[in-house]
Amino acid sequence: MLFSIEQHQFPTCVLTDEANSARLEVVPERGGIITRWQVQGQDILYLDEARFADPSLSVRGGIPILFPICGNLPNNTYSHQGKFYPLKQHGFARDLPWEVVDSASVLPDAMQLVLTSSDTTRSQYPFDFELRFTYRLLANRLRIEQQITNRSAEPMPFSIGFHPYFQVNDKSQLQFEIPAIEYQDQQTQTVHPFSGQFDFDRPEIDVAFRQIFRNSAQVTDSARQIDLTLSYEPLFSTLVFWTVKGKDYYCLEPWSAPRNALNTGDSLTRLQPGEQMETAIELAVTFHP
């Protein structure tokens, strides 16, 4: 395993596993985002390069980090102790620069990044925190370990999640094993039974699976001859599926709480003062023979 920093438009941290033709690229400056994950030389993730090159635009691609909310809030606003705060969709972690921890000697198969509270974050979210993420490249697997610390003098409410964009050439060749029997359409708020298929003729699909009964989901891409398995710890109570017609990606997103949880309290995590918690998700790719 080799760790290096490459100078592109943004400094890019790279883990390379030559034995398995695996590669992981992370850009700390742009929200600690994973921009590339290759297994056996194949790109697993989608990335809109043009949007990524423009820091004024949100990234469409890779694996953006969602914190301290997943999804959006009505009017991008919530209240805490009688005061209203602005907080845009998916929070601020994906937009801020993260710090790389020099940990190659103790984490030979990984890289570690940290985001801490600042005046910028406190203007939107009045809590002191530390996020410490460890990205592990393990042959055909990618493991993301998260450590969240509340440095505030009061309980800290939050949700956390990921928004991975997976490369796809033909959506009609996708098969889904999602551990739920129904989903809520995020646009109409209506609930529908789920049989394992989506209508990809729709301009946009944005649905949330709330009553999930297993800590993993799988997508089979017959066109690319790969199985993708997303595993997640019990903190992640919601899976969101999103895609847009005509785009070569689909998103299967693990969230710890649904949209607007900061206002409703639904599945919201409240970390006590000084408390620290750890959780993780993992992606694995299997190639069909």
Q: How many residues make up the chain in this entry?
A: 289
Full-prediction pTM beyond 0.85?
A: yes
Angle at 77 between CA 74 and CA 83, to 5 degrees: 140
User: Tokens 């998103």 correspond to what residue?
Assistant: 251
Q: How many CB atoms lie within 10 A of CB 272?
A: 12
Mean pLDDT of the chain: 95
Query: Which residue in 63, 65, 74 sits closest to 262, CA to CA?
Result: 74
Q: Is pLDDT at 55 greater than 90 in this prediction?
A: no
Q: Across residues 29-43, what is the average pLDDT?
A: 96
Phi then psi dihedrals of residue 18, to 5 deg: -65, -30
Please tell me the predicted confidence (pLDDT) of residue 56. Answer: 85
Cα separation, 98 vs 214, in Å, equals 32
User: In what side-by-side order are the strands of the sheet with 33-39?
Assistant: 2-7, 11-17, 22-27, 33-39, 42-43
CA atoms in the 13 A half-sphere facing the CB of 238: 27
Please tell me the predicted confidence (pLDDT) of residue 104. Answer: 57
Chain segment 206-255, per-residue pLDDT in tens: 999 999 999 999 999 999 999 999 999 999 999 999 999 999 999 999 99
Cα separation, 258 vs 248, in Å, equals 25
First to last CA, the chain: 26
Give the domains, in start order, of the chain with CATH numbers: 2-287 (2.70.98.10)
Q: Across residues 5-19, what is the average pLDDT?
A: 92
52: alpha, beta or left? (left if phi > 0; alpha if psi -120 to 50):
alpha
Contact between residue 127 and residue 150 where contact means Cβ atoms under 8 Å apart: yes
Q: Across residues 179-188, what is the average pLDDT?
A: 95
Residue 105, both tokens: 């000697």
Q: How many CB atoms lie within 10 A of CB 75?
A: 8
Chain segment 269-281, per-residue pLDDT in tens: 999 999 999 999 9
Q: Across residues 13-21, what is the average pLDDT?
A: 93
Chain segment 78-135, per-residue pLDDT in tens: 999 999 999 999 999 999 999 999 765 567 789 999 999 999 999 999 999 999 999 9
Q: Across residues 10-18, what is the average pLDDT?
A: 94
Q: In this structure, what DSSP letter does residue 70 have?
A: S
Q: How many CB atoms lie within 10 A of CB 100?
A: 17
Please tell me the predicted confidence (pLDDT) of residue 1. Answer: 84
- Rounded to whole angstroms, what are the CA distances from 244 to 90, 164, 255? 18, 14, 20
Distance of CA 244 to the CA centre of its chain: 18
